[in-house]
Chains A and B, each alone.
Chain A
Amino acid sequence: MHMNPAIRRYYSRVVPLSLVYAALLVAIVALFWRGALHGPIAYVAALLPAVPLIGTFVALGRYMIEETDEYLRMLMIRQSLIASGFMVSVMTAWGFLEGFGLVPHIMAYYAAVLWFVGLWIGWGFNIVAMRRPV
């Protein structure tokens, strides 16, 4: 399958970052589970899984800069805007529900999870938009 250079570079960054994220998450959860992390080192360890995730956001930004095909760039920007809108909307709604004691507390990192879910929604929107009759 032909893949343009910007997408190839994007995958070459995101795939290793995803593997590092999975490895770090498993390792650090296991260490906390055993009670092996305390004090300042616990803070550093807890932050480590966030680093590759932030890296994927940077990789996406780099892709938008490096993509020379303006149509493909527009699709990715629209996809990301939909993801951001979805994440902010759900988190805001959840925040009010939680504030009134109607739903349990959720960890803030679910914002990232929702954003990645939103990327899939954005991808679906792009597919529909590309096929709609003009």
Chain B
Amino acid sequence: MKNCLKVLRAERDWSQGDLAERLEVSRQSVNAIETGRYDPSLPLAFKIAELFGLAIEDIFTSPSTEPVT
């Protein structure tokens, strides 16, 4: 699932490790989510959205709205 996590993180000058610490997950998890290799569960997606003060759909792009390649 595409997302703008890297941009949001960069805006706050956070490393992947900083974000991982705030989310209480591993740095590998942040990397996997950020690169679209792993789709987080709904509770974790809510946690990410709450951390950035945004809605889930502001961070993650719904697969149904992504252009077909």
Seen from chain A, the residues whose Cβ lies within 8 Å of a Cβ on chain B are 4, 68-72, 74, 129-130, 132, 134
Contacts and interface: CB of A to CB of B under 8 A. Distances in A.
A27 B40 CA distance: 48
B39 to A, nearest CB: 10
Contacts, number: 30
B7 interface: no
Given A69-B25, A71-B28, 20 more contacts: A4-B26, A68-B24, A69-B29, A70-B25, A70-B29, A70-B40, A70-B41, A70-B44, A71-B25, A71-B32, A71-B33, A71-B40, A72-B26, A72-B28, A72-B29, A130-B28, A130-B32, A130-B37, A134-B35, A134-B36
B38 interface: yes
B37 A134 contact: yes
Interface in B33-51: 33, 35-38, 40-41, 44
A69 B37 contact: no
Contacts of A132: 37
7 contacts: A4-B26, A70-B25, A71-B25, A71-B28, A71-B38, A130-B37, A132-B37
